[in-house]
Each structure stands twice: as C-alpha cells, then as structure tokens.
C-alpha cells in the first residue's frame, strides 16, 4: 500500500502551498519595513495609544517614514487620534488593502478602517454561537491579515499599538520574529506597576526584547504655566526597571493636550516639542532609537 | 491530509461539488477514486473546522488564489464590515451575482467559500446562466448537495 509521501500533493487543497504562500506574502511586506516596535502595557488606560501617536509624530519630525498597526482589535483608537475618518473609502487593489494616511503622513491600519460605521463594534458574524476558541482564532487570523494584507510600502518604523494585557504579544512575535522589541508603558500607581511587572516578566521569559520602560502620566503639567505636580502615589518606576533589569526610558508628564489634536490639526508633539511634555517625549524616543 | 483508495492503491481526489458546509461550524467533503469511482466523505467537527479556519487557507484552492484575497478571512467573518472589503474578491468575468446571492455565498465559511463559489459557477456555466441569484443557489444546493 502506498504511503503519504508516495502520493503527490496534499489531497487537493494545496494547504501546505497556501500556508507557504501566506508566509511569502507576510515576509514581502515585512522586508520593506526596517524596524518594528511594539508599545505595550499589561494595564489598560496608561496612555499607550496617545503616546504611540506622539512617538510616531516625533519619528516623522526626525525625517523617518512611519506606520502604525492598531493591534487593539476590540478597542481601536489610532484612526481617531490620527484623524482618519470612518467615512473614508477603503481602497482594495491588486497590492492588497491600502493603509490609511493620518496626520503628518503617518500610515495606519486599524479595525476601525474596516467597519461600516464609527460606532460599530468589532463583532464576528458567528459570534452569537461561537466558542471562545473560535473568536480567539479569528482575532489571531485578523491580526495576521492586518499585517500581511496591508500595502505598507517602504517604512523606516512600524509601531504596533498593542491592546491592554500581555497575551497578544504571542501573536505579534509569531508574525514578526524580527521585532526590534517592546516598549513597556506604566503609570506610577502601584496597581499599574504590579500588572506591568507581570508583562515584563512574561516578555523576559519569552525572550521578547524589551527596549525599556516608560513612566507615563508621571506628575501633572499645567498646560498654562507648565508647573509640575504629583498625580499618582506609587513606588519609584525607575526601581521597577532596575529590579527587572531593563532600561528606564524616562518620565512623561500627564498632559491633557497629548491625546488631542492641536487647533491646526497636528498631533501634540509637532507643535509642542519644546514644552516639558514634548521634550520628555523627544527624550524617550531618542532612548528608544538608541536601543534598537 | 490525503486519502488512499486501498483496493486501487490510488490517491483519492477532492470533489469540488462535494463540499457541504452544513453549518458554519462543521463540514463534509467528498473524495473520489478516479480509478474505481468509489467515494468517501470526510466529516469534520467544530474544533477541527476551527483549526483549519485559523490557518487562513482555502480548501480546494491554490496558493495563487490564497494570495489574491486581501483580508479574506476578516472580510468574510466581520459583522458590519465595509462594502469595499466584501467586494474585494476577484470578479468572475461575465457571470453576475445578485446581492442576495453575494450575501449567501458570503455566509459560507471563508476557507470553503472558494470551493462553494466554483461549484455554483460551474453549475451556472454548464447551463449558460449569466446571473446567479438565490433561486439558482437553491437549485445548486438541491442538485449537488451543497
């Protein structure tokens, strides 16, 4: 009787070839992007997306071409921050899906670009009776398609705005093995540091490179007089970085302006780079670039 | 996975008209021995189907076709997705699909949709039909068991 290897092909569906073809497509996209950096935190609400947008603005200001992948499938916010409206037509052509172009020419791909209305949640057609396994596998597949089927073109940096938690990094690491590393973000509160410490431990165990730890919302800066004051009580975040043996990138103050566009439609960093917060973002970006 | 017809010692082939996505969570596929004509059906349960779904591949398809469907899994499974995304699949030349037919084919799981489409298209072409509508799809379902 013949064995598996005696039979040519794989039964008619060419699944092996198809998987290889998908891998080739993914690789062809990634090879045109010089550096891939994920910004993450175990904790939600620490300002990841606002910071990601302003880090991108800072990189553009330095002359780099930048894209952002919104990996927060269920809570996408990058389109909103970069001024890409839901009403913009999605362009699908022979090269794949064209990314959105946000403020300052930042390219982006987000679930928000794929949904028919701004208030549509990300729901899968089979969700009503779908198992958790099915939803989870759909999310992994969706993430792969967002990376591989977006026509990113040539980029110096692709920033990946991660969802809260530390589970999605498994997908990203699988998709982008050459990931330059992750930037961990925490706020000074004890609770945030407690959770972010777990994320750092997990990344260390998985051997995901950690570029450093950012202390976001580290004190309050008055937008009028730029005086600083405390905002959260907590342990020294620099100490956490030392304990975990990762670089401490620095403090970025809480600034109500950081998450919104300026009157002229720019991101905060572009018009406030000499402010206390702007300088802090600039310094953080310099340290991130030094570590890549 | 491959299937061998033991009496003939010959590989069995996937039958494009034998795909039966009974529900979205399971399916049945037919394999036939070219030599003796014997057919078998492979039935997958919900979890096996989910596993194949995760790969992002299309049963009964080719590597070239897999490359040519940008965000195909998301397009097929995202509720409330943009029309541009749903229409991203390549067109089928002179054959036209009514909105009802497009909606129905879209409900077929992504990884077997291509095969289901081929079945409907072949059925239409054989009969000289240029517009595929819900009625024709009912007919295909009845005649080929899809």
CATH, residue B73: 1.10.8.550
Please give the C-alpha separations between residue A147 and each of A98, A127, A140, A153, B77, in angstroms, as whole numbers.
Answer: 12, 23, 11, 12, 17
Q: Does residue A27 lie within any of the structural domains?
A: no
Residues of A in contact with B13 (CB under 8 A): 12
Q: Provide mean pLDDT across the span B28-50.
A: 81
The contacts of residue A42 (CB under 8 Å, 6+ apart) are A164, A165, A166, A195, A196, A197, A198, A199
Share of chain B above pLDDT 70, in %: 62
Integer Cα distance of A116 and B99 in angstroms:
17
Q: Which residues of B touch A73 (CB under 8 A)?
A: none
Number of domains in chain B: 1
Contact A117, B80 (CB under 8 A): yes
Find the CB nearest A12 among B6, B46, B60.
B60
**The predicted structure's pLDDT at residue A167:** 85
Residue B25 has a pLDDT of: 61
Is B20 within the bounds of a domain? yes
Q: What is the pLDDT of residue B80?
A: 82
DSSP string covering A124-171: ETTGGG--HHHHHHHHHHHHHHHHHSB---SEEEEEEEPPSSSSTHHH
Residue A116 Cα distances to A27, A40, A85, A205, B100, angstroms: 29, 28, 11, 40, 19
Domain containing A207 equals 35-291
pLDDT tens digits for range B48-85: 766 666 566 665 555 555 555 688 778 777 888 888 88
Residues of A in contact with B84 (CB under 8 A): 89-92
Assess whether pLDDT exceeds 60 at residue B34.
yes
CB-based contact A163:A73 (threshold 8 Å): yes
pLDDT of B93 above 70: no
Number of residues assigned to chain A: 292
- Asked if this assembly's ipTM is beyond 0.95, the reply is no
Would B146 be classed as within a structural domain? no
Picking from A11, A17, A113, the nearest residue to B14 by CB comes out as A11
Are A125 and B79 inside 8 Å of each other by CB?
yes
- The residue that leads in pLDDT, A67 or B130, is A67
> Which segments in chain A show pLDDT lower than 50?
none
Mean local confidence (pLDDT), B95-124: 76
CB-based contact, B41 to chain A, within 8 Å: no
User: Which pLDDT does position A104 carry in this prediction?
Assistant: 95
Q: Examine residue A46 and state whether it is found in any structural domain, yes or no.
A: yes
Please report the pLDDT score of residue B26 as a whole number: 67
Give pLDDT tens digits for A242-287.
999 999 999 999 888 888 877 778 899 999 999 999 999 999 999 9
Indicate whether A188 belongs to any domain: yes
What range does the domain containing B41 cover? 4-141
Looking up residue A287, the CATH number of its domain turns out to be: 3.40.50.300
pLDDT of residue A35: 98
Collapse the DSSP code of B26 into the 3-class scheme (helix H, G, I; strand E, B; otherwise coil) and give the result.
strand
Report residue A286 as tokens.
């310099």
Q: Least CB-CB distance to A14: which of B3, B62, B72?
A: B62
CA distance B27 to chain A (A): 15
If one compares A177 and B46, the residue with the highest pLDDT of the two is: A177
| Whether A7 contacts B55, CB under 8 Å | no
| B61 to A14: CB separation less than 8 angstroms, yes or no | yes
Does residue B111 have a pLDDT over 70? no
Q: What DSSP state is assigned to residue A94? A: T
A-chain CB neighbours of B62 within 8 Å are 14, 17-18
Nearest-CB residue to B84 (from A2, A89, A127) = A89
What gap in Å lies between CA B41 and CA A39, rounded to an integer? 48
- In this prediction, residues B31-36 reach a mean pLDDT of 90
What pLDDT is recorded for position A4? 78
Q: Does a structural domain hold residue A132?
A: yes
Say which of A7, A9, A114 has its CB closest to residue B78: A114
Question: Could you tell me which chain A residue has the CA closest to the CA of B49?
Answer: A134
Closest to A110 measured CA to CA, from A142, A135, A138, A132: A142
| Residue B23 predicted with pLDDT over 70 | no
End-to-end CA distance of chain B: 22
Chain B hits for A23, Cβ within 8 Å: none
Indicate yes or no: CB of B59 within 8 angstroms of CB of A134. no
Are B14 and A131 within 8 A, CB to CB? Answer: no
Pairing of strands B20-23, B26-33: antiparallel
Give the burial class of A204: count Cβ atoms within 10 A of its Cβ; 0-12 exposed, 13-18 middle, 19 or more buried.
middle
Residues near A112 by beta carbon (within 8 Å), at least 6 away in sequence = A70, A76, A77, A78, A79, A80, A84, A86, A118
Test B53 with A134 for CB contact under 8 angstroms: yes
| Alpha-carbon torsion (A265, A268, A269, A273), positive or negative | positive
Cα–Cα distance, B91 to B71 (Å, whole number): 16
Interface of B with A in 99-138 (CB under 8 A): 107
pLDDT digits over A44-82, tens only?
Answer: 889 999 999 999 999 999 999 999 999 999 999 999 999
Integer angstrom CA distances of residue A94 from A11, A44, A258? 29, 37, 37
Total domain count, chain A: 1
């Amino acid at each position: 009787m013949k064995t598996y290897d005696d039979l040519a092909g794989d039964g008619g569906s060419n699944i092996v070839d198809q998987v290889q073809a998908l891998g080739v497509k993914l690789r062809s996209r990634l090879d045109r992007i010089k550096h891939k950096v994920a910004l993450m935190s175990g904790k939600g609400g620490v300002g990841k997306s606002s910071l990601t947008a302003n880090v991108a603005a800072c990189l553009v200001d330095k002359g780099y071409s930048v894209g952002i992948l919104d990996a927060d499938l269920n809570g996408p916010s990058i389109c909103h921050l970069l001024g890409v409206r839901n009403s913009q037509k999605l362009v699908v052509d022979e090269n794949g899906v064209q990314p959105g172009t946000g403020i300052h020419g930042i390219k982006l791909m987000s679930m928000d670009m794929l949904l028919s209305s701004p208030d549509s949640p990300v729901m899968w057609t089979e969700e009503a009776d779908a198992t958790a396994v099915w939803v989870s596998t759909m999310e992994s597949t969706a993430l792969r398609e967002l990376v591989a089927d977006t026509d990113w073109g040539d980029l110096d940096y692709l920033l990946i705005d991660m969802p809260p938690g530390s589970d999605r990094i498994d997908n990203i690491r699988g998709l982008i093995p050459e990931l330059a590393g992750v930037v961990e973000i925490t706020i000074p509160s004890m609770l945030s540091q407690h959770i972010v410490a777990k994320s750092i431990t997990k990344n260390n165990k998985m051997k995901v490179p950690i570029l450093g730890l950012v202390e976001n919302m580290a004190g309050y800066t008055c937008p009028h007089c730029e005086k600083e004051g405390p905002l959260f009580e907590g342990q020294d975040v620099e100490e956490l970085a030392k304990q975990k043996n990762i670089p401490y990138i620095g403090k970025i103050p809480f600034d109500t302006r950081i998450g919104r566009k300026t009157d002229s439609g720019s991101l905060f960093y572009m018009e406030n780079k000499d402010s206390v917060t702007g300088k802090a973002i600039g310094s953080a970006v310099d340290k991130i670039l030094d570590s890549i | 996975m491959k299937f061998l017809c033991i009496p003939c010692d010959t590989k069995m082939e996937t039958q494009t008209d034998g795909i039966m996505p009974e529900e979205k969570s399971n399916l049945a596929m037919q394999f036939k021995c070219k030599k003796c004509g014997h057919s078998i059906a492979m039935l997958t349960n919900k979890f096996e189907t989910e596993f194949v779904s995760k790969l992002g591949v299309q049963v009964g398809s080719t590597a070239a076709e897999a490359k040519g469907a940008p965000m195909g899994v998301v397009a097929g499974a995202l509720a409330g997705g943009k029309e541009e995304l749903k229409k991203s699949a390549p067109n089928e030349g002179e054959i036209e699909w009514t909105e009802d037919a497009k909606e129905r084919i879209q409900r077929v799981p992504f990884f077997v949709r291509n095969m289901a489409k081929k079945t409907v298209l072949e059925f239409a072409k054989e009969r000289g039909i240029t517009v595929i509508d819900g009625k024709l799809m009912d007919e295909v379902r009845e005649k080929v068991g899809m």
